[in-house]
């Protein structure tokens, strides 16, 4: 029986044209982030299963590709629990590995530490447009900086990168987990109800205000409390002024310092940004990761119709490894979705070396072949990209294929 030539469901083969775009995007990301002081690091793709299932990754913990123990340690026949046969898993994001890395190496790292990671992650998710089971993530994180300078730098670095890739008129939606909690407390919800309320609130853009109300009531929440809660969203104002009005409405439930901190981030980014985009205060923004403790943000692109990246502050995560909390904040750019949008728009990588093909008639060898290859070597040294191939019978079709790959010049050699 013939082997299956298709890739595993949710994973894909990358053809040369897309690979060129991916390499270009990675180059822009690396160069831009380096100018903001971020240092490239790398972590293993496999993490200890205990780290991956530590209740910090939200629903992603349900999507882990788990790895069985090896050799004599694997005893499936006598195992009664999963823990007896599983000890590792493929990472589902880059944040948990980064925090483990920092916890293990902090004595050798500067403070604050500005890290850049690019690498594949894996989730046993349902594949759809722009969502795969294996995909590249590009994260920048700042560890050891407690002030909102971290958020400002992360947002400016990310948006500058998007601008250099040609994106404009997108939004950075921003909120604060403590504002979400203050709004819920104002409405009379108890702390143990917050997560359930936020899960429903996160659907606002899909089901609207009425849909959120219906679902909250169906979930058993008191209608008067639901009405009081949803009044906070009835007249949306996505500006700093809207943030201040909301703060006034909920009063002592929100510390003024939290409001002012978020306002300063928005105003500072707007005053210093290079790319064309809009900062939007969005009190419905939730972000699913349970490790977020403060500011949260997300990239909204009209071309995609959804999120193309996001992040936030996670000040309590390092402490789970070391026993001592370290302030931390990160931003993940939606690499796969950005590449998808560039590919669909017909994007061409700029500034490529001139591409030329040498077509050599079959039968040419010996001294003449060495002469042709020597000529190609000289042109390569001069900066040209030279492809040396044998000439096909259907030379016209061969040239058409090469032209589609970006070859602009041809030189033919005959016996």
pLDDT score recorded for residue 94:
95
Specify burial of residue 169 (Cβ count, 10 A radius: 0-12, 13-18, 19+): exposed
pLDDT along the chain (415 residues), means of 10: 89 91 96 97 95 80 88 71 83 95 96 97 86 93 97 97 94 96 94 90 88 91 91 90 95 95 97 95 86 94 85 94 96 94 90 86 92 93 90 92 88 90
The residues near 322 (Cβ < 8 Å, ≥ 6 apart) are: 103, 106
CB 385 within 8 A of CB 356: yes
Residue 77: the pLDDT is 66
Query: Using an 8 Å Cβ cutoff, are 63 and 120 in contact?
Result: no
Q: What is the number of other CB atoms lying within 10 angstroms of the CB of residue 382?
A: 10
pTM for this predicted structure: 0.89
Q: What is the pLDDT of residue 85?
A: 77
């Amino acid at each position: 029986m013939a082997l299956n030539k298709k890739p595993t469901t949710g994973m894909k083969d990358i053809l040369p044209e897309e690979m060129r775009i991916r390499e270009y995007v990675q180059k822009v990301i690396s160069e831009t982030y380096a100018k903001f002081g971020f240092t490239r690091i790398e972590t293993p793709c496999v993490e200890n299963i205990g780290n991956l299932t530590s209740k910090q990754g939200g629903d992603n913990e349900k999507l882990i590709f788990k790895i069985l123990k090896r050799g004599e340690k694997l005893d499936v026949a006598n195992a009664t629990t999963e823990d007896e046969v599983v000890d590792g898993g493929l990472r589902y994001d880059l944040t948990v590995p980064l925090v483990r890395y920092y916890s293990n190496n902090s004595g050798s790292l500067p403070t604050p530490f500005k890290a850049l990671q690019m690498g594949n992650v894996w989730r046993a998710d349902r594949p759809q447009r722009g969502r795969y089971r294996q995909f590249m993530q590009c994260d920048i994180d700042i560890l050891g900086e407690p002030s909102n300078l971290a958020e400002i730098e992360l947002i400016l670095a990310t948006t500058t990168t998007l601008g250099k890739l040609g994106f404009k008129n997108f939004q950075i939606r921003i909120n604060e987990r403590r504002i979400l909690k203050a709004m819920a407390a104002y409405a009379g919800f108890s702390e143990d109800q917050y997560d359930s309320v936020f899960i429903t609130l996160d659907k606002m853009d899909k089901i609207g205000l009425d849909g959120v109300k219906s679902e909250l009531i169906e979930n058993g929440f008191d209608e008067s409390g639901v009405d009081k809660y949803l009044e906070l969203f009835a007249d949306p104002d996505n500006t700093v002024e809207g943030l201040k009005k909301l703060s006034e409405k909920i009063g002592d439930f929100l510390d003024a310092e939290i409001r002012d901190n978020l306002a300063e981030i928005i105003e500072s980014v707007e005053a210093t940004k290079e790319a064309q985009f809009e900062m939007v205060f969005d009190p419905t923004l939730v972000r699913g990761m349970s490790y977020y403790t403060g500011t949260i943000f997300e990239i909204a692109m009209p071309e995609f119709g959804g999120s193309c990246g996001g992040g936030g502050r996670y000040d309590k995560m390092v402490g789970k490894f070391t026993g001592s909390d370290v302030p931390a904040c990160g931003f993940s750019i939606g690499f796969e979705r950005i590449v998808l949008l560039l590919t669909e728009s017909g994007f061409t990588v700029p500034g490529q070396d001139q591409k030329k093909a040498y077509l050599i008639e079959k039968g040419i060898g010996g001294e003449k072949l060495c002469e042709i290859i020597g000529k190609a070597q000289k042109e390569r040294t001069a900066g040209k990209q030279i492809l040396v191939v044998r000439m096909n019978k259907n030379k016209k079709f061969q040239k058409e294929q090469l032209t589609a790959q970006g070859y602009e010049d041809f030189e033919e050699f005959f016996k």
